[in-house]
Amino acid sequence: MTRLFLRVSPQALRITGLLFVLCLVVLFFSTQVDNYLNGRLFNRISSSVAIMALIATGQTIVILTRNIDLSVGSVVGFTAFATGSLVTAYPDMGPVPLVLFAMVCGAGFGCINGALVAYARVPSIIVTLATMALFRSALVEFSDAKSITSGSLPQWLVSFPNTKLLTIGQFQLRAGFAVAVVVVVLVHILLSRFRPARRFYAVGSSPEAAEMAGINTRATVFAAFVLAGALAGLAGFMFLARFGNITVVAGLGFELKSVAASVVGGVNIFGGSGTVIGAFLGAILVDLIDTSLVRWQLVSEFWREAVLGALILLSVTVDTLLMRRLFRLRQAQEHEAAKPKPAAAGKVTKEGAA
Amino acid sequence: MKMTKLMGTAAALAMLGSGLAQAQTALEGGQEVDMVLLPKFLGILVFDQANEGAQEAHAELGNPGELLFVGPTPENSVAGQIEIMTTSATQGQGAVMLSNNAGDQIAPSAKAAQDAGTKVVTWDSPIPSGEGEDVFVAQVDFGSIGTVMADMAHSILGGSGQMAVLSATPDAANQNAWIASMQDALKGDKYSGIELVDIVYGDDQAEVSYNRALALVDKYPDLGVIMSPTTVGIQASAKAMQDEGLCDQVKVSGLGLPAEMVSYTMNGCAPEFALWDFRDLGYLTYYTAYGMATGQLTGELGESFTAGRMGDYTIEEDPGRPGSKRILMGPFTVYNKDNVEAAAQ
C-alpha cells in the first residue's frame, strides 16, 4: 500500500483523494436526500459548474505565481454586460467574434492588474482588491442603470449552454460543460507539458531561483494575470449565455468562490504547486456541497453558509495534514532506501547541514 | 387595503371636523432645496425608473435646488448607504429619500441627519423600527401584497398544491414583510389547499436565484409554483424552468417587470405576476420630501396634500409598524398574457 503511495506523484494522489471525497459527499447526501442519485444531479452540477471551472482555472494560474486575483468577479460581470450590449446592438454577430470580444475585454482588465502587480510591484491582494471595486464601478457607470434581458439576445446564444451533445439515459452532456472541460484539459496539458507554461510553477516555487535560471519573472506574472482575465472574459460570455439577465451584480462573490475552488482543489495558496484539474474538482466539490445543502432538510437557510465554510475548512485541513504525513512518510522511505550505503547517508546529512 | 385607506380618510375627516386640521395642502413650487435620492444600490432598472419619476416631479415643481441620485455599489450597499446618509447631513441637504437596505443599522445616522435638519423620507423599503424616519412612502399596502400573491398562487395552482418562495436577501425588510403577510393571508379558508413548503433566498443575484429555483424543484417533486417577490428572482426562476423544460410542471409568479417577464408570460412559464409603477413611486416620494423639506408639510398624522398628477394623499399610521407614519401609494397591476405585451413596450 505504502509502495503504491510512493510511486504516484503527490498531485495525482491529491486528485485521487478529491475524487474519493466527492464520492463520499455524494454517498452521504444520497442517504439524506430523497431522489438524489440520478442523472438530474449530474445535469445540474455540470451546467452550473461550467462557469466557475473557467474562473477557477484562471485563478489557479495566478495563485501558482504566488499572487491572487480578487477582481475576477467584477471582470466576469463587466464582460457579461459588455458582450450583452454588443450583441443587442448587433444581433447578427456570430459566435466567434463575440467570444473573442469577451476574452479580449477580460484580458484587457487582466493587463491592468498584471502591469500593477508585475511592474509597479504593488502586492496583488491590494491591487485586485482595488480593481475589484473599480471594475464593478465601471460596470455601474457603463450600464447606466439598465440591465440586459434574455429577450434581447439572439436565440443561438441563449440556447447554447443547454444544447445536448450526448444523452445517455438521464445523463446529458451539455455544450456549456463541454466547453469548460475542453478548456480545463487544454490548460492542464499546457501547464504540465509545455515548457514556457512551466515558468508559472518556477516563479511560484522560488522567484529568486527562477530569476537566476533566466526566467523573466515579471513577464510571467503579467502573463498569468492576462490569462486569468481572458478566462474570466470567457466565463462572462458563458454567464451571459446561461442567465440572459445581466444586472450590475453579475458575478458578485465569484472571486472568493474561485479561490475556494482552487484551494479545496489542492492549489497551494503560497504558490508553486497545484493543478487546474484539482481546481476543477474543487469547483465541483464546492458546487455539489452548496447544491446539496439546499436540498438537505436538516440545515436551515441561515446555517448553510456556515456549514459550507466549515466543510471547506475541513477539507483543506484534512488535505494539509494528510499531505504532510505523506511527505514525511516518503522522506522516511527515501532515507531508508539511502541507508544501506553509509557513504551516501553521510552525504545526505552533509547536504542537510549545509 | 381598502380598510386602511378608509381608516386614513376617517382620521383626516375627524381632524377636519375638529376644525384644527389643515385642508388639502397644495404644495407651492419654486422653493430652493437640495435633495438626495438614495436607492438600495445603483444599476437596477426599478431604481432608475424611480429616479425618472423624481426628476419629473423636480422639474414640475421648479425647484432651483439640486436633486442628486447617488447610491452605493452593490457589494457595499449597507456601509455605503450609511455613509451617504451621514455625508448628506453634513452637506446640509434638505431631505434624503431612502430605499433602505441596511435594516435598523442605518437608524443612528438617519437620526443624526434629522437632528441636523435633514428630513428622512423612506420609500420602497422602510427603516424597520421607524427610528430616524419622518415618513415612509409605501408603494402598496404591505398587507395587501400578501393577499395578491396568495391569490395568484391560488389561481395558478387551481386551488391546491405546493408553493415555495424564492426571496431576495434574508434581511431585506420589504420582502420579509411581504412574505409574512402572505403567510398570514394563506391562513384563510380560501387557501387551505395551498401548502407553503419552503422559503429560500437568491440574494438578488441571477445565478444564485437560478440555482436555488432548480434546487427547489429537485427538493419538492410535487412543487406547483415558485413565488418570487423580487424582480431578479422571478426572472431567474422563469429562465431556469424554461431552460430545463419544466414550465408545464412548475409555474413562476411574484413581483416582476413586464419588460423582463413578457416572454415567460406569453410562453406560459409565468402566467401571472404583479408590480407597481416605480416612476410613480419616485414622483410621489419627491413631492412628499419636497413638502417636508420646505416646511409646507409638518409630517403630522392626518395631514393631506396634493401630489401633482397623482392626486391627494394622507399621512397615516403604518399598520405594519406601530408608531411609524406612512403614505400609501397603491394600487398595483396584475399582469397576464392579456396586458403584459402592452406594458412591456
Q: How far is B144 from chain A (nearest CA, A)?
A: 26
Confidence of residue A2 (pLDDT cuts 50, 70, 90): low
What pLDDT does A1 receive? Answer: 54
Among A4-8, A188-192, B324-328, the minimum mean pLDDT is found in A4-8
Asked if B45 lies within 8 A of A146 by C-beta distance, the reply is yes
Domain locations along chain B = 2-140+277-333, 142-275
Q: What is the mean pLDDT of residues A124-134?
A: 95
Does the fold of domain B142-275 match that of domain B2-140+277-333?
A: yes
Give B72→chain A minimum CA distance, Å: 9
Q: CB-CB: which of A239, A243, A295 is closest to B219?
A: A295
- CATH number attached to the domain at A35-291: 1.10.3470
Hey, are the CB atoms on B218 and A244 less than 8 Å from each other? no
Over the stretch B75-88, which tens digit does the pLDDT of each residue have? Answer: 788 899 999 999 99
Shortest distance, CA A51 to any CA of chain B (angstroms): 10
Contacts of residue A249 in chain B, CB cutoff 8 Å?
Answer: 41, 43, 74-75, 204-206, 232
Which A residues, 221 through 250, put their C-beta within 8 Å of a C-beta on chain B? 239, 242-250
Considering only the beta carbons, identify the residue of A248, A294, A301 that sits closest to B219: A294
Q: Is the pLDDT of residue B94 over 60?
A: yes
Tell me the pLDDT tens digit for each residue of A213-242.
Answer: 999 999 999 999 999 999 999 999 999 999
Higher pLDDT, B255 or B170: B255
Residues 43-102 of A with CB under 8 A from B: 44, 48, 51
B2-140+277-333 fold: Rossmann fold (3.40.50)
Cβ separation of B260 and A149 shorter than 8 Å? yes
Q: Which stretch, A220-234, A237-251, B158-172, B230-244, has highest mean pLDDT? A: A220-234
Q: ipTM for the complex?
A: 0.80
Q: What would the mean pLDDT of B165-185 be, rounded to a whole number?
A: 89
Secondary structure string (H, E, C) spanning chain A: CHHHHHHCCHHHHHHHHHHHHHHHHHHHHHHHCCCCCCHHHHHHHHHHHHHHHHHHHHHHHHHHCCCCCCCHHHHHHHHHHHHHHHHHHCCCCCHHHHHHHHHHHHHHHHHHHHHHHHHCCCCHHHHHHHHHHHHHHHHHHHHCCCCECHHHCCHHHHHCCCCEEEEECCEEEEHHHHHHHHHHHHHHHHHHHCHHHHHHHHHHHCHHHHHHCCCCHHHHHHHHHHHHHHHHHHHHHHHHHHHCCECCCCCCCHHHHHHHHHHHCCCCCCCCCCCHHHHHHHHHHHHHHHHHHHHCCCCCHHHHHHHHHHHHHHHHHHHHHHHHHHHHHHHHHHHHHHCCCHHHHHHHHHHHHC
- Which of B74, B243, B260 minimises the CB distance to A245? B260
Pick the CATH number of B142-275 from 3.10.100.10, 3.40.50.2300, 3.40.47.10, 3.40.50.80: 3.40.50.2300
Would you place residue B21 in the very low, low, confident or very high pLDDT band (cuts 50, 70, 90)? very low
Confidence of residue B345 (pLDDT cuts 50, 70, 90): confident
